[in-house]
Chain A
Amino acid sequence: MKKILFLFFAVVIGLAVALYRIIDTDSSKAFFHNGSWMGSNSLPLGKNNLLTAQVTLFALFALPSEEAIYLFSRKDESGEFLDGKNDYTLSGNVNQIKAKYWSITAYGKDLFLIPNPADKYSFNNSNLQTDSAGNFSIIISAKSHSGNWLPIKSNKRFNLVLRIYKGDSAFVSQLSRTSLSEIKRVSI
């Protein structure tokens, strides 16, 4: 009996250590951090088991970096978790990201799209409402708004994903240092 308990605890602790190491993306070498955003511009990662496991869980069936870059955010610019009890804005210029296509999408904590009556889940470089200079502001809120409104669920944590397809190679190589739109908590 003692031997079975001994083995059981060792296996449980082994699994717990593995899970902790996989979800600890903040200190992962697979991802760079740029303001609110975390991403990788060197996929696929080759034979590193831990990094591959992390990418598999957070970006299943991801494309290689020369095809697409995925940036992930679960916190606002002040480091607080994104939460549907608050409203947020994300502002920038549509030409700030040099790519064939880019988009911002909201996901629930479960990493699936957030059901909403407007059936609106994302904005991309071709459907954002901008001013004549290309400036835009996306309102991320559980309450309905006019303009670029990205619906989320009230009082539920959420994540944002910025996708960049066929990005300009110079832009992509500088992505960890380039200024990206920050997610600001606001009162609307």
Chain B
Amino acid sequence: MKSRNYIIRTIVFLAIVFAVQYFFIASVPDIVFFIAKYRSGKPLNTVIQAPKTDAKLRKVVLPNPDFVYNAVFYDLSKSDLIISGEFPDTSQYCSLAFYGDDVQPYQVMNNLTSQPRTFRFHLTQRNGNTVVVSPSNQGAILMRLLVTSEEQYKNARRLQKILKVETLEK
């Protein structure tokens, strides 16, 4: 009887260990997304124009000092969004990446392949034409602008200010 209880307890113990590690590993992207959103210190659906990347920037790990970033943490639960802005010419690399709440990219565009240079996207969770379809209610958009000269830095700052997020009633 005692040995049967011991076996049952061992099985229960191992099941709890397995369940905890499974759910913790599965939750890492959600936890990290929540922390990144919280540390941004800005409301959802607004553009965060990050300053030039240096050692003072400690919001997201492994920042690239050659890039100037614009970020938007979005929430589509109350309204769709219109994202508009402008890419630089092809001498200065720029990308616009859309991430779900699992911090995995679901859509990326860059100025080397996208025409015209100005862009305007309808961000929604519903399928349709000329829209970017988010896999989750919340997510993030990251605009990366490569800066290798003072002139490119000035241009990046100008383009940072052009990126707009507008809410669109559902």
Cβ of B13 within 8 Å of any chain A Cβ, yes or no, is: yes
Q: A10-B16, A18-B20 are in contact. Are A115 and B55 (CB under 8 A)?
A: yes
Could you say which of B24, B32, B112 contacts A57, with CB atoms under 8 Å apart? Answer: B32
Q: How far is the CB of A144 from chain B (nearest CB, A)?
A: 17
Q: How far is the CB of B145 from chain A (nearest CB, A)?
A: 12
Q: A52-B102, A122-B65 are in contact. Are A112 and B25 (CB under 8 A)?
A: no
Chain B contact residues, majority secondary structure? mixed
CB–CB A105/B61 < 8 A: no
Complex Cα distance, B24 from A14, in Å, reads 9
Complex Cα distance, B95 from A143, in Å, reads 36
Q: Which of chain B's residues have a CB closer than 8 A to the CB of A50?
A: 25
Counting chain B CB atoms within 10 Å of each CB, which of A7, A14, A103, A161 scores highest? A14
By beta carbon, the residue of chain A nearest B13 is A10
CB–CB B24/A166 < 8 A: no
Q: Which of chain A's residues have a CB closer than 8 A to the CB of B55?
A: 112-116, 119, 121
Name the segment of B74-82, B103-111, B121-129, B160-168 touching the other chain.
Answer: B103-111
Complex Cα distance, B32 from A61, in Å, reads 10
Q: How many A-B residue pairs have CB under 8 A?
A: 129
Q: Which of chain B's residues have a CB closer than 8 A to the CB of A17?
A: 17, 21
Could you say which of A10, A53, A113, A161 contacts B57, with CB atoms under 8 Å apart? Answer: A113
Complex Cα distance, B26 from A100, in Å, reads 35
Cβ of B117 within 8 Å of any chain A Cβ, yes or no, is: no
Q: What 0/1 readout, one digit per residue, does chain A (41-61) give for beta carbons within 8 Å of chain B?
A: 000110001101100111111
Complex Cα distance, B148 from A68, in Å, reads 17
By beta carbon, the residue of chain A nearest B60 is A60
Q: Which of chain B's residues have a CB closer than 8 A to the CB of A11?
A: 16, 20
Give me the 10 closest cross-chain CB pairs, A-B, nearest first. A14-B20, A10-B16, A53-B28, A18-B21, A111-B61, A115-B55, A121-B65, A18-B24, A113-B55, A14-B17
Interface residues, chain A, with chain B CB atoms under 8 Å away: 6-7, 9-11, 13-15, 17-18, 21-22, 44-45, 49-50, 52-53, 56-64, 67, 70, 100-101, 103, 105, 107, 110-116, 119, 121-122, 124, 126-127, 161, 163, 165-166
